Structure 1
């Protein structure tokens, strides 16, 4: 059955590929991002009427609330909200600034929170809904140059884990998406080796498949993400030498 999906961060990278993948699978996808031009170009690539552009800056709380209300007024109830918008900026000891941390927190954490509130309110009123939040395996443990990005993704993972019991009690579906390295304009900023780097189209298929399953976490590529799950269980004396070797240029 066709769903109405609201997807944030859909103008490039994983979000763009997922929008096209879901549209090909028959969903109607209301796509938000800051660039109206990129959204219009995206809509032109999909079957007619499958991708619906709704330009939005998720750091604007009031604009988010208006956009959610507009989507539901014009397209009907949102069945699935896929909160993917976020950014990455390399941060390490040599480049650390408060401004960079604030930028990442405002977009990755607070921007996601701005989206969560109206979506959860709508789902609670109807007693149904499916919410998925895109974080990252960078939130599992500290990785080189991820002092800001990884911290925000760890916060999202914790936030969604904390909401899961409430969603279960309310009869709502909640998932966390933790991708590994995917070739996007954001990962192009990385200056270290990225093991098991995926193409966005492959990541989009894995994400879309995961949305149709019951599991709480959607993660890919599994060879890499399961490796990181193991590494996060290791003591620091073992973890830091291993992760340093794995990400060395």
Structure 2
């Protein structure tokens, strides 16, 4: 690999690619599943809502709906077994499922923090436990993890949520170091603000908010280019990437000024 080459294999042809989207019942996951089906991929759609998955699959011949709860390890393993039995392998796993909840120091909520850890972090570990043996046995394929720009650095109202997403960023970096030399791609996906059920109740300004459809297009474009770090919308995410490089005194002052919090 040189600095001029893509960090992951380029996905130029989606025809018959076997893609498992976890968290496919709404938001970015649902739109990504729809767009990949339109591109000719075989897509397994998973989430807790079986009815929602059926609606999104819409009878497509290449769609496979497999309900699960990523916080329940046994359901993830059962779903993995069903998909591998049906397809004899998986080419790409996209872990999009996640939860969100506002929290500040003066309203710390341990129950909410634990729920976010279970869903955003421990749930991803359940998915890795189910899928890494498949990828390693195949000696090919790829895995993408949706974290968030909230994981770059500390932000107001993101006390527990941001911590789980920061962990996913670190996790993805570790996976890349271990898996890419073995021929397996790893994608770190950091969205900014996207119109989804998770952001519908936010009571603060959301700069450069984009539709779930546009977010899915950016995600897929990053996969097709073989990028490791896929982030969007760039006019917002690049601003946050710059801010994290500032000394803490300057960073904290900037965040207070921009957010008013």
State the TM bucket, normalised to the shorter chain: over 0.9
In the alignment, is residue 25 of structure 1 matched against residue 25 of structure 2?
no
Provide, for residues 70-91 of structure 1, a one-character-per-residue CA deviation record: whole Å limited to 9, x for no partner.
1110233111000111100111
Question: 1:128: how far off?
Answer: 0.6
Q: Is the 8 A contact 1:181 1:187 kept in 2?
A: yes
In the alignment, is residue 96 of structure 1 matched against residue 114 of structure 2?
no
Question: 1:95: how far off?
Answer: 2.3
Q: Distance in 1 between matches of 2:33 and 2:185?
A: 20
Q: CA RMSD in A?
A: 1.3
Alignment match, 2:24: 10
- TM norm structure 2: 0.91
Q: Distance in 1 between matches of 2:223 and 2:180?
A: 16
Q: Distance in 1 between matches of 2:210 and 2:256?
A: 21
In the alignment, is residue 168 of structure 1 matched against residue 180 of structure 2?
yes
Alignment match, 2:49: 35
Match of 2:139 among 122, 127, 134: 127
Q: Is the 8 A contact 1:4 1:76 kept in 2?
A: no
Match of 1:108 among 117, 120, 125: 120
Question: 1:16: how far off?
Answer: 0.8
| Structure 1: gaps of 5 or more residues | none
- TM norm structure 1: 0.96
Q: Distance in 2 between matches of 1:132 and 1:77?
A: 16
Provide, for residues 210-248 of structure 1, a one-character-per-residue CA deviation record: whole Å limited to 9, x for no partner.
111222110011111111010001122211222223234
In the alignment, is residue 72 of structure 1 matched against residue 84 of structure 2?
yes
Q: Distance in 2 between matches of 1:205 and 1:135?
A: 17
Question: 1:181: how far off?
Answer: 0.6
Provide, for residues 35-60 of structure 1, a one-character-per-residue CA deviation record: whole Å limited to 9, x for no partner.
1111111111xx72132211000111
Alignment match, 2:96: 84
Q: Is the 8 A contact 1:136 1:180 kept in 2?
A: yes
Alignment match, 1:190: 202
- Residue correspondences, number: 247
Q: Distance in 2 between matches of 1:222 and 1:8?
A: 24
| Structure 2: gaps of 5 or more residues | 1-14
Q: Is the 8 A contact 1:196 1:224 kept in 2?
A: yes
Question: 1:187: how far off?
Answer: 1.1
Alignment match, 2:10: none
Alignment match, 2:256: 244
SS of residue paired to 2:164: helix
Match of 1:226 among 210, 217, 238: 238
Q: Distance in 1 between matches of 2:31 and 2:224?
A: 17
Match of 1:61 among 70, 73, 88: 73
Runs of 4+ deviating beyond 4 Å:
none
In the alignment, is residue 51 of structure 1 matched against residue 68 of structure 2?
no
Question: 1:168: how far off?
Answer: 1.8
Q: Is the 8 A contact 1:89 1:189 kept in 2?
A: no
